[in-house]
């Protein structure tokens, strides 16, 4: 199953979440941190780029 990082606005703040599909067809979403967190943003963007190659 493929998983991915998404940004979601919650209470006016952009946050990173990690979506992982389940066998039931629903996504399990886990909070990763604020979009403004440079370390988390760099990790998410690196993973996104590596999957598009």
Q: Summarize pLDDT for 1-31 with one digit per residue, the tens.
A: 588 889 999 999 999 999 998 888 888 999 9
* pLDDT score for 53: 57
- Contact yes or no for 28/19 (Cβ under 8 A): yes
* pLDDT score for 4: 84
* pLDDT score for 52: 64
Domain hosting residue 37, numbered range: 4-52
Distance between CA atoms of 42 and 23, rounded to whole angstroms? 29
Please count the structural domains in the chain: 1
pTM of the model: 0.75
> Of the candidates 9, 17, 20, 19, which has an alpha carbon nearest to the alpha carbon of residue 40?
17
- Contact yes or no for 2/18 (Cβ under 8 A): no
């Amino acid at each position: 199953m493929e998983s991915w990082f998404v940004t979601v606005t919650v209470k006016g703040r952009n946050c990173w979440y990690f979506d992982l599909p389940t066998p039931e067809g629903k996504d399990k979403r886990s909070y990763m941190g604020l979009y403004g967190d440079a370390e988390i943003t760099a990790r998410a963007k690196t993973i996104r780029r590596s999957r598009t190659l």
